[in-house]
Amino acid sequence: MSSNRLILWFDKAMAFSFYATIYFLPISIALLETFTGFAIFFYLLKRFVMFYELRKTNPALWKSLNFLGRTKTFLKAFQPNPSAINKPIVVLLLFSLFSVLISQHRLVSFKGFIGKALENAFLYFSFIECINSKNRLKTFLTVFFLSATVVSTSGVYQYFVGHDFIFGHLNYDGRISSSFRSPNDFAAYLVFLIPILLSIIVFRFGEKRNEEEGICGLEMFFSNKGRIALSFLLILTLFCLVGTYSRGGLMAIVLALVLFGCRNRKIFLSTVLLVVVFFVVAGFLLNNSRGDLAAPGRLFNDNGRMYYWQEATNIIKHNLIFGTGLNTYSLVGREYKITWGGYPHNCYLQMAAETGVIGLIVFLWMITALFKDALRTLSKMTDFSLRFILLGALIGLAAFLIHCFWDTIFYSVILNCLMWIYFGLIVAVTKIQKPHPASLHG
């Protein structure tokens, strides 16, 4: 088999791995880790073949290079596709590695660096490399929506029957969790998904488009039948979101819509009205099972989290600049306990505690660079199908990041993986503008 055919095969294998990853993400951690591992493995194999090709095309030049020159050639073959957040990711990795060296628990931090920080970076680089055409984007989103339909249906089933049909999770305290370990985790998954559905179904009518702006490659989503199918999924997901009674999830969706509502106020107000009406109706139905916990006053009253946040703040005060070390919060936090529980229920406080203020600043730099580049691209995109998918993905990521103020979902295997895939999804959509050679791989 020729090198070019190998490269194409590995590229397709990477794409298939991500299709499987997004399907099994809410269903099986073992399969999730298996297919993310495959995606990274095929990415590395593809780059090794590319390195081999660089040597093969000019063997005389290769022999003439010194050690430094050969190292540069090797690194060039493994250089990831360019994106707005490559530099912040590299800085974040370097600082994460530094946090391992100064960690109070070096072995734990080293495992966190390899199994989380480094793996997440390679997952992102693999995604933007292989999801490089409308065809692959369509397949990825189709599998995502199918998986979400199964999981959301299981959540509705759990509400009415008392347990979900995937794992048999019981409906404790009237809250829906479906296949996830907790209702809050399920809500975080839903806040990623709901804005994309809303964007495709509703937001497309908020802007005028020229006849030349077609939907070639994504017709199945924007056709009448496609929008009806996605509307059904939207109803399922909204019902499940309310059924989780996740205060962070509910507030995240509302605040994210407010942040992006300035793009089209007429459609924004109509959408918010629709969501509010649904929340009121669904909330009334859920009140019987939630009792006093469903009262509106409980939405913003949570003294428990104040204690968690105080613990994290105390850790940060004593380790302000560099933190306690990557992945060490549950160990170091034992010395600062003022209530039960092992985590602060705030991703940003935990990040600041583990990697210091500098680590948090680098992460926020990466997020800012991502949104800045995507919003700049969004304003110039002529393909309205890609434009509204990108808009929905941005709102979904914003909602997730808002939700992170109330929970430690960065540190969930499932949700952390989904977050980095969403980083890749946003960047991939900005790159899929016009047909290019990579699109032939799909």
Q: pTM value?
A: 0.89
Alpha carbon of 173 to those of 29, 177, 184, 341: distances in Å? 25, 11, 13, 19
Which residue did the predictor score with more confidence, 94 or 306? Answer: 94
Q: Tens of pLDDT along 416-428?
A: 999 999 999 999 9
* Residue 161 CB coordination number (10 Å): 10
Looking at 52-66, 294-308, 324-338, which range is the least confident one? Answer: 294-308
pLDDT in tens, 19-55: 999 999 999 999 999 999 999 999 999 999 888 887 7
Which among 47-51, 58-62, 203-207, 348-352 has the top mean pLDDT?
348-352
Q: Quick one: which of 358, 345, 351 has its CA closest to 310?
A: 345
The angle that helices 3-24 and 119-130 make with each other, rounded to 10 degrees, is 110
Question: Both ends of the chain: CA-CA distance in Å?
Answer: 19
Identify which has the larger pLDDT, 364 or 306.
364
Which helix H or strand E contains 149, and what residues bound it? helix 134-161
Highest mean pLDDT among 182-191, 220-229, 425-434: 182-191
pLDDT band at 265 (very low <50, low <70, confident <90, very high): low
Domain-wise residue ranges, the chain = 1-79, 125-441
pLDDT at 267: 62
Instruction: Please give the structure tokens belonging to residue 151.
Output: 């999981």
Q: Which amino acid is at 391?
A: L
Band of pLDDT at residue 368, cut at 50, 70 and 90: very high
Is the pLDDT at 154 greater than 50, yes or no? Answer: yes
> Does 352 or 441 have the greater pLDDT score?
352
Residue 366 has a CB neighbour count (10 Å cut-off) of 19
Please check the confidence at residue 207 and state whether its pLDDT lies above 90. no
> Over pLDDT 90: what percentage of the chain?
49
Whether 22 and 144 have beta carbons less than 8 Å apart is answered as: yes
Tell me the β-bridge partners of 362: none
Burial class (CB in 10 A: 0-12, 13-18, 19+), 91: middle
Residue 141 has pLDDT above 90, yes or no: yes
- Report the C-alpha gap between 328 and 311 in whole angstroms: 14
Average pLDDT, the chain: 84
User: Containing H/E element for 34?
Assistant: helix 29-57
Assign 3-class secondary structure to 227-266. Answer: HHHHHHHHHHHHHHHHHHCCHHHHHHHHHHHHHHHHHCHH
